[in-house]
Structure 1
Amino acid sequence: MMDALVCAAPGQLVLERRPIPEPADGEVLIRVRRVGVCGTDMHIYRGTQPFLAYPRVMGHELAGEVVQAPAGGDLAPGDPVYVMPYMSCGTCAACRKAKPNCCMNIQVLGVHRDGGMAQYLAVPEGFVRKAEGISLDEAAMIEFLAIGAHAVRRAAITPGQSVLVVGAGPIGIAAALFAKLQGGIVTALDGRQDRLDFCRDHLGVDHVVGLGDETRQALSDLTNGDFFDVVFDATGNPKAMEAGFAYVGHGGSYVLISVVGANITFSDPEFHKREATLLGSRNATPEDFDAVVEAMKAGKVPTGALNTHAATLAEVAQALPGWMEPQAGVIKAIVSC
């Protein structure tokens, strides 16, 4: 038997005893050791995640050790591993285009199917990678960083381009980090000074701007009225996503990383006169996971600063509501299983 943390309904977390899963053919049984807590988990707890049915075991930022693996593969018992949590079908139109991140039949761990806030998890071998040269804590942070890396790759940032990241939570931080690594001149915009301080102190962003009545003027001043070559939205707020269109310069691109259960509108004349490019960015691909691991190994990711909070699996039900409060200052909370 094993412990599993179940979100039975919005606001209800229950630690249950469940049977250890039996891996099917082609699956790896993992002893989960670390789980990163992200905004998706908080939306599940609040009841605002649009793709989920309760009850659900949350958790998709996963690291652990192999217990059992298919014979003849690259994995062996005891190997430290991380999980790519987007269970893609491999046959749909998106998968045939090498876009498994937006698979038409996608099953995301912790959202569409039970995830990793449990002591054991069985997943298909193709979604498990060795975590070589990094710690388990770092391995549990790969997934959220890969989302930012994917968005930056979608934007095709070139050195010297002006980049605005709206929303300096974990995903925005990831986008800002990889935009800097691509040579972008990065501005972070957020309503929380502590997050802006983090971006300045640990990511080396070029400018930080607080949200307020003078925001548009401040952004205009920073760019001599040109606004930005690339704008990323990582707010999860429909009004902020709509406002971001106005920050895209002529010939620029707007990348929506956020997912919200709402319709987003914008001014068509403004969009057309700028010949703007609008991009959605969903999840990440294996290439993005690889890029994050290489950046970690090269010392380019401030993993120690990102890892701000910790708890055991038994403590999460009590800790999570507090982590969701702004005054907690959570960047990334890591659960030990």
Structure 2
Amino acid sequence: MAVSVPALMKVAELVEDGALRLAERPVPRVPDGWSLIRVRAAGVCGTELHFLEGLLDPMGIPRVLGHEVAGEVTGARTGSSGSRVAVYNVMNCGSCRYCNTNRDRLCAHSLGMIGFTADGGFAEYVVVPERNLVPVPGSVSLEAAAVLACSGMTAVHAVRLAGLGIGDPVVVNGIGGVGLMLVQVAALAGATVLAVADETAKLDLAQNLGARAGLLIDDPEGYETLPEEAIRMMGRAPDVFFETVGTRETMRAGFGCLAPGGSFVQIGYTSQPLDIHPGALIKNELRILTSAAGSRNDLETAIALASQDRLAVVIANRTDLDGLPEAIQSLRDRHVLGRNVIRYESG
């Protein structure tokens, strides 16, 4: 049955000086090989702050942000209207050597990323390549699927990249949306997880979701004692340090607490430089790994785990597009337990 699509849609767009503006735009046309998605949910990621603060370049403004997207296929050349889907946000070619080895994020012929260099899900409709649509089973809500489309797949990708083994002691530093997913996926991989956060409520949540222990550090100076605290709480130095905070103090502490042969995994973006003497790396054969986004397979894995009740999506607050500025401000204030989600009315 044909679905009626309006001529105009409501969007929240990034404009000059890092401001967000509510506006109306024409619903985008659907090129061959693309689909029009009626957005039902869009997660509000910390990456949004990087755009607003100028750390990331959206490659043109005004730009509709929002890279954690799930909804229903409304217009497509393949006749799949009505399907529930999550949007894989990396617009990869699907055939280069990176795409063929499950490293889609490094695609040699990438068209960019939805919600980064192309308009995203802070809109009632978004147009995406058909290859970027991942089916969502009925057991997974579209709100959860939206969050899994970034933080879920990011955690799966980072844990796979780190090559965790059963019983490996690891630290997850920063219990935001990605940190909560990292705790769960690392625990599923068999690791023993120490969660480090700036609020007791975040630690309680992390421990309920699989962290073996939690450590409260609510000021930069507190990270000076992290190496000894990690050893005390875990029995030995950790093999992997997942870094999601990205300050000089946290990154320095991450390297300081690693066991010989350990891996420092930097996730996401930071404006602060990494400061470590090469001799410290060489002496203990430490590895620096960087992890951003993930592959389509990582997203499929995250959705499958959620459908089996093995990966929980914690939604802190739900709002509509009018409430997006408040959702972003709560991220700035670091008081979000899980993920804020923009929800669109069904109809």
State the TM-score, normalizing by the size of structure 2: 0.88
Question: Is it true that 1:301 corresponds to 2:308 in the alignment?
Answer: no
Judged with a 3 Å threshold, the aligned counterparts in structure 2 of structure 1 residues 314 and 118 are, in CA distance, closer, same or farther, namely same
Gaps of 5+ in 2: 1-7
In 2, the alpha carbon distance for the partners of 1:26 and 1:51 equals 24
In 1, the alpha carbon distance for the partners of 2:38 and 2:65 equals 16
Contact 1:238 1:260 (C-alpha < 8 Å) held by counterparts: no
Q: 1:87 — aligned with what?
A: 91
In 2, the alpha carbon distance for the partners of 1:329 and 1:317 equals 14
| CA shift digits 1:130-168 (9 cap, x unpaired) | 111311111111121110111001111111111111111
Question: Is it true that 1:179 corresponds to 2:190 in the alignment?
Answer: no
Q: 2:82 — aligned with what?
A: 78
Judged with a 3 Å threshold, the aligned counterparts in structure 2 of structure 1 residues 260 and 319 are, in CA distance, closer, same or farther, namely closer
Instruction: Give 1:81 deviation, angstroms.
Output: 0.8
Q: 1:4 — aligned with what?
A: 11
Q: 2:3 — aligned with what?
A: none
In 2, the alpha carbon distance for the partners of 1:189 and 1:50 equals 30
**Count of matched residue positions in the alignment of Structure 1 and Structure 2:** 329
- Paired residues for 1:308-327 under 5 Å: 308-326=316-334
Gaps of 5+ in 1: none
Pick aligned residue for 1:152 from 135, 148, 159 = 159
| CA shift digits 1:169-200 (9 cap, x unpaired) | 11121111100001100001123322222211
Pick aligned residue for 1:60 from 62, 67, 73 = 67
In 2, the alpha carbon distance for the partners of 1:51 and 1:227 equals 40
**Mean CA deviation greater in 242-251 or 156-165:** 242-251
State the TM-score, normalizing by the size of structure 1: 0.91
Q: 1:217 — aligned with what?
A: 228
Contact 2:181 2:311 (C-alpha < 8 Å) held by counterparts: no
SS, match of residue 218 in structure 1: helix
- Paired residues for 1:6-45 under 5 Å: 6-45=13-52
SS, match of residue 108 in structure 1: coil
Question: Is it true that 1:162 corresponds to 2:169 in the alignment?
Answer: yes
SS, match of residue 205 in structure 1: coil
The code of the aligned residue for 1:83 comes to V
In 2, the alpha carbon distance for the partners of 1:161 and 1:322 equals 34
| CA shift digits 1:280-304 (9 cap, x unpaired) | 112111121111111111111222x
Contact 1:35 1:60 (C-alpha < 8 Å) held by counterparts: yes
Judged with a 3 Å threshold, the aligned counterparts in structure 2 of structure 1 residues 248 and 106 are, in CA distance, closer, same or farther, namely farther
| CA shift digits 1:72-105 (9 cap, x unpaired) | xxx6111111100111234655335441112344
Runs of 4+ in 1 over 6 A off after TM superposition: none
The code of the aligned residue for 2:114 comes to L
Instruction: Give 1:106 deviation, angstroms.
Output: 5.1
What do you get for the CA RMSD once the two structures are aligned?
A: 2.0
Pick aligned residue for 2:54 from 26, 47, 51 = 47
In 2, the alpha carbon distance for the partners of 1:323 and 1:256 equals 20
Instruction: Give 1:324 deviation, angstroms.
Output: 3.0
Question: Is it true that 1:136 corresponds to 2:160 in the alignment?
Answer: no
Judged with a 3 Å threshold, the aligned counterparts in structure 2 of structure 1 residues 302 and 181 are, in CA distance, closer, same or farther, namely same
